[in-house]
Structure 1
Amino acid sequence: MLSYLIFNSQEVEIGMKNIFYLLIVCLASLFISACRLLDTEKPPEAEQGVLDLTEEWQQEDQTFTLDGEWEFYWEQLLEPSLIENGDALSSDYIKTPENWYKERFSNHGYATYRLQITLPEEREDDIMGLYIPDVNTAYTLWGNGKELASNGTVGINRSEMHPKHHPEITYFQANEDVLNVLVQVSDYYQRKSGWSESFHLGSSEAIQNMRDKNVAVEVFLVISLLVMGLYHIGIFILRPKDRSTLFFGGVCLAVAMRTLLLGEVLLVHFIPAINWELSLKLEYWGSCFGIIFFLLFIHAQFQEHMNHRIKNMFLMFFTGFAFFILVTPARVFTEMMLLLQLFAGFALLYLVIVLVGAFRNKRKGARLHMIAMTILLAFVINDILYYNHIVDTGETVSLGLFLYLFAQSFILSNVFARALTQSEQLSNRLEKVNQTLEVKVEERTKKLAETNEDLEQANERLEKMHRSRQELMSNISHELGTPLTSIQGYIKGMLDGVVDRNDPKYLQLVYDKTLFLRQIIQDLRELARLESNRMKFEFVDTDIHTFVQRLAETYRHEIESKNIEFRFENNLPPEGDKMVELDPIRIEQVVTNLLFNARKFTQAGSGITIELNETREDNASVVQIAVHDTGQGISPGELPKVFDRFYKGKSNNVKAEDGAGLGLAISAEIVYAHGGKMGTDSEEGKGSTFYFTLPVRDSKRNTRIT
């Protein structure tokens, strides 16, 4: 109890050095976002419907935006044949990316865009990729007269069209030195029209890499926000007295929902059947509820510094706006977007003022709160300017929220670190008190021993002192036991997964999970590259017997170190070498995956065998590499699923952190890329055999790279 009183009697202070570091990080992030505005190298732009890339396209991995002046046919839905035959009416030129209503046209209507792109001769036969951004609100796109992509249904009125929006990628081969891009667009459902982000053209691999990076970043942000949001809501369930964790979790979940509906619009990829109107309502609700939870979060911590009338005014506005979104169609509530943005900016500005007042009154954590909220306000203002086409920095609120979360974690870490320091100081003080008592007892005992005249009185006094010492030690032990038990409870709680909000190590738990997701993403990316034939293999002619024997010797010690007998059996015919065209690194990856899986499920004292055979498949000679184990085996119902993604089996007792269930799926794809097959045989209680085949070929052929 003494440590608790000491802890609450002192205010936790944040060092200026640490705040300076945080400010540097925030300003660096803002600088990175602003670098695009300061870029002096201007990309090529279309002029009067023509974009010339003959001199610009020099490297394979280059991508180009199709920004600039496109031909624009207002209230005409033209197909390529009509334009070629001269049936089109007069056209205008319109700047892109831009909403067409910012020119001189109505925001509701339909039109046709056209752009002629001149390509270098060496790129005519390349497979190209075209990244199509979020086009409002339905489109059909042609390339050199061939329909390449569409989203929703284009129409000349509201009843004929069907809205839909999310970015797409299309792949094609130009076959000419000129690429004519034609886009039909219609919008009768919201305030935006045309497109607000750039089309991107490049090689298929460059465009896919750009898309993969965008998706990876957004998936990381969404998963991180969901984990943090659910974590704080879980803390509230365990400690409902502190409502700030509930509101903070609500902020994370609201921003996660908004992130799912921006950029790559991942929610549509996850749930393709989602209604367009509902997805737009969810996007706007994410903004409304994010601000509502932010207001409640700051109020829960600094309510004495917040004017209740102003707070209630903001809450009533954003709650009312959320209801307004619910009961009105998109063509109505989207027209009020600017009003929502203005109130969001004013609300965050007011929160900064509240935090400044808390800082002046020396409230704990207010300084770092104020800095983080100021940075977040800057990101919000940036997004308002971006969505109104004043700046071109991209959406940044998610990054701002991450900085804010970092500040919150920093505050909690400092509070807990100070608590531990105070507990250590208390322990040292109690130890000194104990030593002082021991000295006093020894002095009094010596004095009693020297007093012979008053022996009985001295013994009686000694008895009293001894009893007093016991009672004092009991009291000290009780007082010492309280903070030690509390510390032990924190540690036990962390070991059991029940983490207190003052625990600085919860970031490590979150970090360990993100490392595991990152590993899943890496494995999935490798699997996707294998399945889409984008993985590069270096094939060499290899004597399969020598190759497998070398692998067996390489991993023999690692397997036998687990007290498992390891054998290599070569059942190939003795005449001639069996040459196989393979990528040594990738095939070694397959073999080691099978060996380590076998070791994982084989008990000490049992055995593992790697066996090399020759057989025939489809009237062709193949070699079979098989790994036999004497483990627990696989049930017949699970056998067809062992090569599925994320499948581990009901009998798999290995912890989830030891693997994501992607190893066999990746191995199977590698074998298929070599022209082989992969399979398994198993019997419950007797063990399993995993095998794969590789085609035998003529040993005189040369090395090739694909």
Structure 2
Amino acid sequence: MVSISKSVLVYYKMLALLFAIILSTGCSNDVDSSPDAPKAIRGTLNLSAWDLSQDGPLTLDGGWAFDWMQLLEPDQNAVPPRWFTVLPGSWQPAQPDKHSSTGYGTYRLRIILASPQQQLALRVPQIATAYKLWIGSELVASKGQVGTDAASSRPQTEAEMIYFQSPSTKFTLTLQVSNYEYRTSGVQSSIILGTAEMMAKEDRSRWMTDAFLYGSLFVMSIYHLGVFRIWRKDLARLYFGLFCLALGVYAILISDISPFGWVADLPWKAMMRAQYVMLSVNLSLAVLLFSALYPVEYSRRVLKIIVWSSILLSAYSLLAPFPLVTYADLLQIVITIPAAAYGLYVLGLAAKRKLDGAFTGLIGVLIIIALYIYLVSDGLRISESRILMAVGFILFVWLTSLIIHFRFAKTYREAESMSRHMREVNTGLERKINERTADLELSNQSLEKMNAELARLENSRRRLLSNISHDLGTPMTLIQGYVEAMLDGVVDKPEQLRKYLRLIHARIIGLNRLIHDLFELSKLEARQISFAMQELPVREYVGLFFERYELEVKNAGLSFELRLPSKEPGPSLFVMIDVDRLDQVYTNIIYNAIKHTPAGGTITLEYTVGAGRIVTRIGDSGPGIKEEDLPYVFDRFYRNDKLRSSAGGGSGLGLSIAKEIVEFHAGTIWAESSPGQGASILFVLPVFRPKDGG
């Protein structure tokens, strides 16, 4: 099912209501023109058996007395008629030897009522192109100027409702008519007689129907033009809106509520030309509308032919003299019939291809064909019922708007489908974007990690090269000096030669140790050394390293003390360490302490456990470290006479290596000292219980 918006449903309900109103108002006071109703015979209409108040209004159709080329007045009613002619119709049959529609004449009809009537009404249609009407001896209506030639006449046509009181049960209608401007002559529509009350009610009904119908056309025009203003790609709405507007203007021009009734002095010729131009405009807009609805099926060449033909016909309507210009409606039929036939072909082709609204369009074209013939050809008189014109208007407009709304509903349905598809695509796209974003974040993290590693490697490389160039320079210079002294013969005694060779050997050993420490430190900084981590109970850890260094410290003439935690660590407390790498930390710190502790001094190994960590303190009783040097003791090759001396055999990298190893164990290391009271190196390692994260 096609999803149609509420506004569209309301739109169709209004159209259905309009159709019902037209039918109800148009049929509420039907005028009796059936074969059983009285007819005028040889200038007399006998209504003695017809009660206007009971039987209703009736048309004064039939044979009227007619005097060709004579303008008779009521006081000349005794003059016998020369001819009789049938109304409605042309006066030409009354003059067999003349076929001109121009001229003048007098119609007369004697009416016989059953009884005197209080108030009667006579509806006189538009009569081409001027007339005077007497009821009895009273002149009751006059439109235009009746004349015996074109110069003395003035055209004006307007339907009129005349209210009067019958002079007696017998009275005569005298109607003078002249025509020099229109292609058809005579009285082409029925004159209607009825009671004043019924005729007034019928007149109000006609006005309401016409006003509502034409107002609806203008409302639909404004609606579709407004929609086009919002969506300018839909040319069908533009043409349909303009078509409704032009159709409404044309219908007002030819209707009983036309401007003729509002402004009596409007030029009749200008209004007639406007009618014919609007006919051409309507046809052009109709073909443009269907070409926009079915652009593939409708030939552009045929479209141009019809539109240009309508333009030429409009020019003819504006420029041709009267009465030739009044043949424009017949020329319009000549153009409309083939255009409608081609429209039927196009719609049939569209229906065969199962395009939306094609079958509805077929019905609409058939309606417009009948409507155009009815509107432009009074002589053909396919139907003289006003309700047919109103129904034709509303049916055609409704069916055409239905086609447009079929297209709108299809577009709306496609838009909904596309919107639903786009939502699905967007949902999938968002999911993919989130996935790709997560992947990119992982990649970014990986790149950041790689970048950090590269930065670490690059920094390590720079520092390695800097240190090598700095710390290899001094020993190599000494070795070079010793070798040059030997080559120059400065040292020639065997004892001196052995002494110099021992010095060179010592320097080479020191260089090997320095190079080894440099490469190891660089690998540690670049995290390129693997660690064999293992869980070790804290109670085993605190006794592991004391035993390893106790003998060496005592052999150096120093005391070695172990201070354990005041409370023995429980069996469930562990540290995660690489025993060999951590042993290297102890070696560097303890050997550094031995080197800087005088004979008879003391080295202390102390452990403290608490707050999820174990603190290791290795202290000596040496001279200590100056306060300003404490922040730099872990920097490689930091130069301080107390900490480093080439003559002492140290590489100056031991504490830097210890720092890297401790930090790899997620610990921290620092130095504490007071001058003259010794120095201490402390480092902290995390402890854990296996159930908490082992």
Calculate the TM-score normalised by the size of structure 1.
Answer: 0.53
Within the candidate set 65, 73, 79, 2:67 is matched to 73
Give the letter aligned to residue 39 of structure 2. E
CA deviations over 1:81-129 (Å, ceiling 9, x no partner): 122xx4x4652110001011254343111101100000112xx141111
Aligned counterparts of 1:462 and 1:209: Cα–Cα separation in 2 = 83
Of 243-252 and 321-330, the range deviating more from structure 2: 243-252
Alignment correspondent of 2:637: none
- Give the 3 Å change call, closer, same or farther, for CA 314–420 of structure 1 in structure 2: closer
1:53 aligns with 2:47: yes
Contact 1:369 1:407 in 2 (8 A): yes
Aligned counterparts of 1:201 and 1:137: Cα–Cα separation in 2 = 22
CA deviations over 1:403-444 (Å, ceiling 9, x no partner): 23323443454455566667777888899999999999xxx9
Alignment correspondent of 1:271: 263
Contact 2:298 2:346 in 1 (8 A): yes
Aligned counterparts of 1:150 and 1:275: Cα–Cα separation in 2 = 16
**Greater Rg, structure 1 or structure 2?**
2
Deviation at 1:185, TM superposition (A): 0.7
CA deviations over 1:12-42 (Å, ceiling 9, x no partner): xxxxxx9xxx9xx99x99xx99xx9998653
Deviation at 1:210, TM superposition (A): 1.6
Contact 2:66 2:81 in 1 (8 A): no
CA deviations over 1:174-221 (Å, ceiling 9, x no partner): 131102110111111111212111111111111111211111111112
Alignment correspondent of 1:311: 303
Within the candidate set 153, 175, 191, 1:199 is matched to 191
Alignment correspondent of 1:231: 223
Give the letter aligned to residue 110 of structure 1. Y
- Give the 3 Å change call, closer, same or farther, for CA 169–230 of structure 1 in structure 2: same
Deviation at 1:224, TM superposition (A): 1.1
Aligned counterparts of 1:425 and 1:237: Cα–Cα separation in 2 = 25
Contact 1:288 1:322 in 2 (8 A): yes
Aligned counterparts of 1:210 and 1:340: Cα–Cα separation in 2 = 33
Aligned counterparts of 1:422 and 1:335: Cα–Cα separation in 2 = 48
1:97 aligns with 2:91: no
Within the candidate set 334, 345, 363, 1:353 is matched to 345
CA deviations over 1:587-613 (Å, ceiling 9, x no partner): xxxxxxxxxxxxxxxxxxxxxxxxxxx
SS of the aligned residue for 1:141 comes to strand
Contact 1:37 1:393 in 2 (8 A): no
Contact 1:190 1:330 in 2 (8 A): yes
CA deviations over 1:118-152 (Å, ceiling 9, x no partner): 0112xx14111111111111111111111111111
**Where does structure 1 lack aligned partners over 5 or more consecutive residues?**
1-6, 8-17, 445-459, 468-706
Query: What is the RMSD of the two structures over their aligned residues, measured on CA atoms?
Result: 4.0
Within the candidate set 10, 20, 37, 1:43 is matched to 37
Aligned counterparts of 2:378 and 2:309: Cα–Cα separation in 1 = 23
SS of the aligned residue for 1:330 comes to coil
Q: Please give the residue correspondences for 1:207-222 in structure 2 after superposition, counting only pairs within 5 Å.
A: 207-222=199-214
Deviation at 1:400, TM superposition (A): 3.0
Of 357-366 and 160-169, the range deviating more from structure 2: 357-366
Contact 1:376 1:397 in 2 (8 A): no
Alignment correspondent of 2:282: 290
SS of the aligned residue for 2:156 comes to coil
Aligned length: 420
Within the candidate set 170, 188, 199, 2:180 is matched to 188
Aligned counterparts of 1:176 and 1:75: Cα–Cα separation in 2 = 30
Alignment correspondent of 1:112: 106
Contact 2:277 2:314 in 1 (8 A): yes
Contact 2:358 2:403 in 1 (8 A): no
- Give the 3 Å change call, closer, same or farther, for CA 298–37 of structure 1 in structure 2: farther
- Give the 3 Å change call, closer, same or farther, for CA 258–169 of structure 1 in structure 2: same
Contact 1:257 1:282 in 2 (8 A): no
Aligned counterparts of 1:283 and 1:226: Cα–Cα separation in 2 = 17
Contact 2:107 2:175 in 1 (8 A): yes
Aligned counterparts of 1:415 and 1:303: Cα–Cα separation in 2 = 13
- Give the 3 Å change call, closer, same or farther, for CA 75–395 of structure 1 in structure 2: farther
Alignment correspondent of 2:161: 169
- Give the 3 Å change call, closer, same or farther, for CA 397–354 of structure 1 in structure 2: farther
Aligned counterparts of 1:213 and 1:417: Cα–Cα separation in 2 = 36
Q: Please give the residue correspondences for 1:614-633 in structure 2 after superposition, counting only pairs within 5 Å.
A: none
CA deviations over 1:467-510 (Å, ceiling 9, x no partner): 9xxxxxxxxxxxxxxxxxxxxxxxxxxxxxxxxxxxxxxxxxxx
Alignment correspondent of 2:355: 363
Aligned counterparts of 1:39 and 1:79: Cα–Cα separation in 2 = 29
Of 371-380 and 342-351, the range deviating more from structure 2: 371-380
Contact 1:61 1:202 in 2 (8 A): no
**Where does structure 2 lack aligned partners over 5 or more consecutive residues?**
3-11, 446-694
SS of the aligned residue for 1:213 comes to helix
Aligned counterparts of 2:429 and 2:298: Cα–Cα separation in 1 = 52
Aligned counterparts of 1:92 and 1:406: Cα–Cα separation in 2 = 48
Give the letter aligned to residue 381 of structure 2. H
SS of the aligned residue for 2:384 comes to coil
Contact 2:253 2:259 in 1 (8 A): yes
1:145 aligns with 2:137: yes
Aligned counterparts of 2:178 and 2:233: Cα–Cα separation in 1 = 52
Q: Please give the residue correspondences for 1:335-350 in structure 2 after superposition, counting only pairs within 5 Å.
A: 335-350=327-342
Contact 1:345 1:381 in 2 (8 A): no
Aligned counterparts of 2:282 and 2:428: Cα–Cα separation in 1 = 58
Q: Please give the residue correspondences for 1:458-477 in structure 2 after superposition, counting only pairs within 5 Å.
A: none
Alignment correspondent of 2:245: 253
CA deviations over 1:446-475 (Å, ceiling 9, x no partner): xxxxxxxxxxxxxx999979x9xxxxxxxx
Give the letter aligned to residue 63 of structure 1. P
SS of the aligned residue for 2:167 comes to coil
Contact 1:115 1:181 in 2 (8 A): yes
Aligned counterparts of 2:117 and 2:56: Cα–Cα separation in 1 = 16
- Give the 3 Å change call, closer, same or farther, for CA 63–464 of structure 1 in structure 2: farther
CA deviations over 1:629-659 (Å, ceiling 9, x no partner): xxxxxxxxxxxxxxxxxxxxxxxxxxxxxxx
Alignment correspondent of 1:490: none
Give the letter aligned to residue 347 of structure 1. A
Identity %: 27
Aligned counterparts of 2:336 and 2:107: Cα–Cα separation in 1 = 35
CA deviations over 1:290-334 (Å, ceiling 9, x no partner): 001111111223233223333222222211111011012331111
- Give the 3 Å change call, closer, same or farther, for CA 422–243 of structure 1 in structure 2: closer
Within the candidate set 146, 149, 166, 1:154 is matched to 146
Give the letter aligned to residue 73 of structure 1. D
Deviation at 1:347, TM superposition (A): 1.3
Deviation at 1:388, TM superposition (A): 2.0
Calculate the TM-score normalised by the size of structure 2.
Answer: 0.54
Contact 2:62 2:87 in 1 (8 A): yes
- Give the 3 Å change call, closer, same or farther, for CA 425–289 of structure 1 in structure 2: closer
Deviation at 1:381, TM superposition (A): 4.2
SS of the aligned residue for 2:343 comes to helix
Alignment correspondent of 2:293: 301
